[in-house]
């Protein structure tokens, strides 16, 4: 099971990538009383039947993991929501896309730690997929936004270690700016 909210977010964005999305929007908004996350993609979407099954902890599409038939992404989201009195919802239209949203109470003692957003962003931006990913991030009203296309444009090869280090420093500086008040 995931140790942090950032791990969960990584997992959910990967679902969008796996659904062949070419445009993914990730919104992560923190205030003192609320953690609000939206992941919207234009991937293949889910039929009502698949969507029902997807909420089931014992469902994965059966192709991805040879040794495991159990999905961990969505079930973990719903379980965390239930455990902490938060909300989680999925809206999906086949052939159009999927939007996953959740709101958690940051003060709830059962909520996993938030985790390292810098590395989550670096990982997702450089995960080998063709499409774009736009991140909107804010803490108590101060925020930034960055897209994979902008990063690609500035850095070029996103697998080169030196570029990865630059990207990590870039993301860390954005995070630092909004966290130091």
Partner 1 sequence: MAKMTLEELRSLRDTKKKEMTQRDSGGKSAQIIIGMGTCGIAAGAKEAFDAFLDELNSHDVKDTRITQTGCMGLCFSEPTVEVAVPGMPRVIYGNVDGKVARRIVKEHIIGKALVSDHIFDKPAADIIK
Contacts of ligand ATP in 95-124 (CB under 6 A) = 98
Closest residue by beta carbon to Mg ion: 73
Of 11, 98, 101, the residue nearest 46 (C-alpha): 98
C-beta of 34 vs 93, nearer to ligand ATP: 93
| Number of amino acids touching ligand FES (CB under 6 A) | 3
Any contact of residue 67 with ligand FES (CB under 6 A)?
Answer: yes
Q: How far apart are CA 6 and CA 158, in angstroms?
A: 21
- Cα atoms in the 13 Å half-sphere on the side-chain side of 113: 4
C-beta of 1 vs 154, nearer to ligand ATP: 1
Q: Measured from the CB of residue 72, what is the shortest distance to ligand FES in angstroms?
A: 8
| Number of amino acids touching ligand ATP (CB under 6 A) | 21
* Residue 93 phi, psi (nearest 5): -125, 125
Say which entry of partner 1, Mg ion, ligand FES, none residue 119 contacts (CB below 5 to 8 A, set by partner kind).
Answer: partner 1
Give the total residue count for the chain.
181
Is residue 162 within 8 Å of 126, Cβ to Cβ?
Answer: no
Binds ligand ATP (CB under 6 A): choice among 10, 15, 118, 174: 15
Q: How far apart are CA 124 and CA 167, in angstroms?
A: 12
Residues that bind ligand FES (CB under 6 A): 65, 67-68
């Amino acid at each position: 099971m995931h140790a942090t909210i950032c791990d969960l977010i990584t997992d959910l964005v990967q679902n969008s990538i796996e659904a062949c999305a070419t445009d993914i929007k990730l919104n992560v908004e923190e205030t003192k009383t609320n953690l609000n996350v939206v992941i919207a993609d234009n991937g293949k979407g889910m039929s009502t039947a698949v969507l029902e099954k997807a909420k089931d902890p014992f469902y994965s599409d059966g192709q991805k993991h040879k040794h495991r038939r159990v999905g961990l992404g969505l079930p973990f989201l719903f379980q965390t929501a239930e455990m902490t009195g938060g909300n989680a919802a999925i809206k999906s239209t086949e052939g159009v896309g999927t939007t996953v949203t959740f709101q958690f109470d940051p003060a709830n003692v059962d909520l996993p730690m938030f985790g390292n957003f810098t590395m989550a962003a670096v990982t997702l931006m450089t995960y080998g997929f063709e499409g774009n990913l736009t991140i909107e991030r804010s803490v108590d009203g101060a925020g930034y936004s960055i897209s994979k296309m902008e990063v690609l444009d500035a850095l070029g090869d996103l697998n080169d270690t030196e570029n990865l280090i630059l990207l990590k420093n870039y993301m860390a500086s954005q995070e630092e700016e909004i966290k130091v008040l």
